[in-house]
Structure 1
Amino acid sequence: MTSTPDRVETTAPETPRLRLVLILGALIALGPLTIDMYLPALPIITDELATTSATVQLTLTGTLLGLGLGQLVIGPLADALGRKRPLLAGTALHVLASVLCLVAPNIAVLGTARLLQGLGAAAGAVIAMAIVRDLYTGRPAATLLSRLILVMGAAPVIAPSLGSWMLSFTSWRGVFAALALYALVLMPVAARLLPETLPVERRQAPSVRGTLRTYGRLFHDRTFVGLALVAGLTMSGMFGYISGASFVFQEEFGLSQQQFALAFSSGAIWLIGATQLNPVVLRRFEPRQILSAAVATGAVAAALMLALAVAGAGLLGVLLPLWLALFAAGFALPNAPVVALARHGETAGTAAALLGAMQFGIGAIVSPMVGVLGNDSVAMAAVIAGGLGLALIVLVAVVRPWRLTDAEPVPSLV
């Protein structure tokens, strides 16, 4: 068998890798910042807009839904128009949606604006992934994604603390003003410094029928669909944590906003630590091997977390297995897309879009479940354990990683 090349040549100018990582990381971070910065304010928004905690959590669901649907649209556009124009248009939409959140008079308007925020943030998520696939595959791609997650991983560490700090001198609306400003600054930076990595000769003719046909072919790739589900279910565990953490830590365990920010950030540190160990582990193991071990470890840790929560083990009983589950997720998240996208280089934008849409779509379905189940530590642990447990089942039953060969030729879908 022929080997899959580690680099895909393009006509884009050579870009220093550090600069590429910083710009792409900043673009990807727009999504996590949009999700996480307002988390400490959820109880405040519930009171101020005279609604329920479950309804407020639906604004998070709207954001995740927008991130998923937006990628389905932006991915094919990025394959047809190049990477930069859809990126800038999506970021501009995020700015406008953030301003709408800033002035939202009720929960309905806020929920709609959050959906639009997700649609705009989707551009950075899918196009950054497509740019990585334009330039690299295999171990180099997994290594670059690990570096990207270091940059974007700072977002969930910083965001709750930043949101809590802002709430000390402004209202929750000030959080959305800051998000609008961040996206506004990103636009000229990306326009000037980010290279166009998809040359004209490799672009796909824009066609609704062609896009649907490509999505159909992707859905017929058992391995791709399985890996997308594994990534989505792994992410669903994280979104269950994100949607329930502010209520569990602040209301059940009595933490202040500042203490909540520290507790929430501690989990992100374990996630980031794993992503930075991933390039070291990749020197000895293939991405599919690391993915398999990570998913299995995460499922076991989440099951332990659920058992301890049911037993009433307290804050540390929740945090310790949660940290292990997030550590495992830090190995799974960079490797699942690498294995999936390696098979679809000619339609990287569309494939990355479907991968991201399934991740955030599953997250949108799962995130309100913590509120439905009671917004306590048992509910949060049950959602996390359910997501990671299903990810392990799909990995074994559908992906069957022991049958994959890393030297397998990359098939063309066009």
Structure 2
Amino acid sequence: MNKATPQSTSNTLTIVVVLAVLSIFPPLATDMYLSAFGDIQTYLSAPDGALELSLSVFFLGLCMGQLLFGPLIDRFGRKGPLLAGAALFCLATVLLLFTRSTSMFIGLRFIQALGACGGMVVGRAVVTDLYEGTAAARTMTLLVMLMTLGPVVSPLLGGILVTQFGWKAVFVTMLAIGALALVLALTLLPETLPVSKRLRTPFLDVFSDYWKLLTSRPFVVPALVSSFVQAAMFSFITASASVFQGVLGLGKIEYGLAFGFVALGLVVASFVNNRLLVKLEVKTVVSAVLPLFVAISFVLLLVSGTHQLLVLIIPLWFSIAMVGLLSANGTSIAMEAARGQSGVGSALVGAMQFGVAFVCSAIVAAAISSSALPLALGILIPAAIAFLLWHFGSASLTSERPAETPNFDQSQATMKAHDGE
């Protein structure tokens, strides 16, 4: 059976928007409650560091959950497991509104993450179902660009909600968006994996599939590069409240504005990346941007002792913008190497990303101090590791551009028609 096309499934842009809404669970559940840490800690009578731990545990849940969803979506199709994950997210969010236990709060955050990661795994797999090569990279970038609207608006939205209505309003909003995404997936998202292509091997055999990919350099190198690039972003998320509110003395809403401004770099860079991929190969963009990422992160390290917002936020903006130029490209290269095992490949990419994010986030959280130094190191060190991995490992990747699907031009025409271009 040929690949599904936007014409035979649904409009490309509609699919991408629905996938972006589903994938927005993690940034919403991660960023929206950051400004409420103090209020939640008081409400739960939680010890110091408990709320930071709930954030790190969320990353761990995203890591482990994706390993579970990968084989499920290859065996049962994309849509069923996705709907189950969205429902689990909504259920955990409801329970978070009523718990008074710190340990229960942390545990529910883990369960919430398990449900949230379904949209991420399915999103990458659906893109691979529909596209190949540069077409996949451009579509993945569009998806990431829409997803990054979450980090841009959610801290500010969270700050407003906490200030006006209290911290529980944040989780009520998460629940409302989760319910909306569940309805959109149920009504608008097609099934892109036909029954004839679903895996029939025993469920436990998936571990051998994971091992095959883990021992494949064309998959592992770009997956690890993408993981360490993403870790830089999560280091920023973990330390942002401490730096913007603790070191620089910003209020809840001011913190949301500052966080949103930095996260806006992801959107701008994702847009630029989509334009670059019209003329350049994916590998070329990664090779050119990684050294720049390291250089800008080093500048951030040099100014990390400042207490002036403008001095710090400019190199921070450009550092995070580099994530938008690198993350989707690394992911698309890895997913191309996992073609034929899109669900398992998507799960493994996601698990690697959030596994590295969990480690980096926990280290940064433990190192929080009265300066931005932990934040700067939490960005520079992953950037340097990503550069070294690519420099020494990219020779194992094919230098040829993968063949594009004959349907990509049609899908782009459809997207342009709906964009009014």
Shift of 1:118: 0.6
Equivalent residue in structure 1 for 2:104, among 92, 109, 112: 109
Q: What residue in structure 2 maps to residue 67 of structure 1? A: 62
Return 207-216 or 85-94, whichever deviates more: 207-216
Task: For 2:314 and 2:25, locate their aligned partners in 1 and report how far apart those are by CA, in whole Å.
Answer: 28
Runs of 5+ consecutive residues of structure 1 not aligned to the other structure: 1-6
Q: What residue in structure 1 maps to residue 76 of structure 2? A: 81
Q: Deviations over 1:330-381 (max 9, x none)?
A: 1101111111111221110100100001001111111122221124311111
Contact 1:270 1:326 in 2 (8 A): yes
Q: What residue in structure 2 maps to residue 29 of structure 1? A: 24
Contact 2:297 2:319 in 1 (8 A): yes
Q: What residue in structure 2 maps to residue 344 of structure 1? A: 338
Q: What residue in structure 2 maps to residue 180 of structure 1? A: 175
Q: Summarize the alignment of residues 20-169 of structure 1 with structure 2, pairs less than 5 Å apart.
A: 20-169=15-164
Aligned CA-pair RMSD: 1.9
Task: For 2:43 and 2:9, locate their aligned partners in 1 and report how far apart those are by CA, in whole Å.
Answer: 51
Change (3 A) 1:70 1:111: same
Q: Summarize the alignment of residues 6-405 of structure 1 with structure 2, pairs less than 5 Å apart.
A: 9-10=3-4, 13-310=8-305, 312=306, 314-375=308-369, 376-400=371-395, 404-405=398-399
Tell me the amino acid that sits aligned with residue 79 of structure 2.
Answer: K
TM-score, with length taken from structure 1: 0.93
Tell me the amino acid that sits aligned with residue 94 of structure 2.
Answer: V
Shift of 1:409: 8.3
Contact 2:133 2:401 in 1 (8 A): no
SS class of match (1:255) = coil
Task: For 1:406 and 1:328, locate their aligned partners in 2 and report how far apart those are by CA, in whole Å.
Answer: 24
Task: For 1:327 and 1:38, locate their aligned partners in 2 and report how far apart those are by CA, in whole Å.
Answer: 23
Return 312-321 or 253-262, whichever deviates more: 312-321
Return 127-136 or 55-64, whichever deviates more: 55-64
Task: For 1:408 and 1:32, locate their aligned partners in 2 and report how far apart those are by CA, in whole Å.
Answer: 31
Return 119-128 or 208-217, whichever deviates more: 208-217
Shift of 1:408: 6.0
Task: For 2:351 and 2:386, locate their aligned partners in 1 and report how far apart those are by CA, in whole Å.
Answer: 16
Change (3 A) 1:253 1:74: same
Shift of 1:177: 1.7
Q: What residue in structure 2 maps to residue 3 of structure 1? A: none
Contact 1:156 1:265 in 2 (8 A): yes
Q: Deviations over 1:195-253 (max 9, x none)?
A: 10000111001523320111010011012112111111111111110011011101110
Task: For 1:246 and 1:279, locate their aligned partners in 2 and report how far apart those are by CA, in whole Å.
Answer: 31
TM-score, with length taken from structure 2: 0.91
Task: For 1:247 and 1:400, locate their aligned partners in 2 and report how far apart those are by CA, in whole Å.
Answer: 40
- Identity across the alignment (%): 31
Contact 1:51 1:107 in 2 (8 A): yes
Runs of 5+ consecutive residues of structure 2 not aligned to the other structure: 405-421
Return 129-138 or 199-208, whichever deviates more: 199-208
